[in-house]
Amino acid sequence: MEVHHPHHPTHKKNWSEYIIEFVMLFTAVTLGFFAENIREHLAEKEKKKELLQTVARDFETDLKQFEFHKNFGQEKIKNCDSLIAINNGDQSKVDQKQYYALFLKTIWWWHFNPNEKSRNEAEAKGYFSEKENSELNFYISKFNFFKTDLKDMEVFENETDKVIISELANFTEHKLLDKQLRFPSIEIPSKIGIKKIDPATANRMNYQYSMLKLCSDIYIMNIDSMTVYAKKAIDLINKEYK
């Protein structure tokens, strides 16, 4: 005996149903696209916030360095004045231990090493060139301007030191200097009287010490300017990107 199943007629969609399905599909895809864009935008915004907060922390680390370098520069100016006074005075009354220690402290230099990895990364991502960050970009640009000048002073300082070093044989005793140039230095005895410095050598060295003082003056000026713009950048980042 055969079983017969009734045939159900296939429903034919009219054009309006196709349009509705298309609109629904298009709407779903579009909403998904916008949702993904919003998600990526929020993620990028969070990354930007974290990176700029790191920029602020690195600036704060630089500020701690500035305090050390400024004090060092001010001390160097005093040391140069003392060396000029020794050159113009009676070398037979100068303690050799104090003199060599003073001289080496004067030609020694600590270079500033900026914590700028985060700033370079933020700049590479275009964060500083964005219109909304124009004020921050200005502070960063001014900071970098004075940093470049500070680095130029370090180069000039090195060149001045080279001239002074070329004259060592004219105003130091090798047996004493040799001990002081070791690392760590070998202590020399306290004894009144150092090698007599002839007027021509003293005059040449005085000019070089004056150049070192100028370098320190400009170095300190640059540090003060960098400090101002670093603090402005920190305050702005802390205000806008908490």
The proportion of the chain whose per-residue pLDDT surpasses 70, expressed as a percent, equals 83
**170-200 confidence digits (pLDDT tens):** 999 999 999 999 988 999 999 999 999 999 9
For residue 234, the number of C-alpha atoms closer than 13 Å in the C-beta half-sphere is 14
110 neighbors 68 (Cβ within 8 angstroms)? yes
Cα 74 from Cα 163, distance rounded (Å):
22
Over its C-alpha atoms, the chain yields an Rg (Å, rounded) of 35
Phi first, then psi: give them for residue 226, nearest 5 degrees: -65, -35
**138-151 confidence digits (pLDDT tens):** 999 999 999 999 99
Which pLDDT band holds residue 39 (cuts at 50, 70, 90)? low
pLDDT given at position 42: 46
Whether the per-residue pLDDT at 116 is higher than 70: the answer is: yes
Cα 55 from Cα 124, distance rounded (Å):
13
Q: What's the pTM value of the predicted model, to 2 decimals?
A: 0.80
231 neighbors 183 (Cβ within 8 angstroms)? no
Whether the per-residue pLDDT at 40 is higher than 60: the answer is: no
pLDDT given at position 47: 86
Whether the per-residue pLDDT at 32 is higher than 90: the answer is: no
Whether the per-residue pLDDT at 11 is higher than 70: the answer is: no
Query: What region, left, alpha or beta, does residue 126 occupy, with left being phi > 0 and alpha being psi -120 to 50 degrees?
Result: left
